[in-house]
Amino acid sequence: MAQRSVQYVSDENGRPVGVIVPIELWREIESERETAYLLKSEAMKRRLLEAKDRRAGVPLEDALMDLAANERE
């Protein structure tokens, strides 16, 4: 992967207070954060692993029924 240029933002005293990152890197970071959040739930972890191994799609109606059932839990 190409080297990413991260720019640091400093306050008037020269202390770093923020960063500017390329959008590609930001999307990668957000994706990893979302995955980590989802993996905190055992039920979601199981569903993600099942989906990863699935070779066929899920009909929309079935997915909507699953979502509705999970909201009631």
Q: For the chain, which residues make up each domain, given as ranges?
A: 7-72
Q: Average of pLDDT values for 40-56?
A: 86
d(CA 60, CA 66): 10
pLDDT of residue 9 exceeding 90, the answer is: yes
17 contact partners, CB below 8 Å, separation of at least 6: 9, 10, 11
Mean pLDDT of the chain, nearest integer: 88
DSSP code for 41: S
Tell me the pLDDT band of 13, cut-offs 50, 70 and 90.
Answer: very high
- Give the pLDDT of residue 1: 41
d(CA 61, CA 2): 42
- Give the pLDDT of residue 33: 95
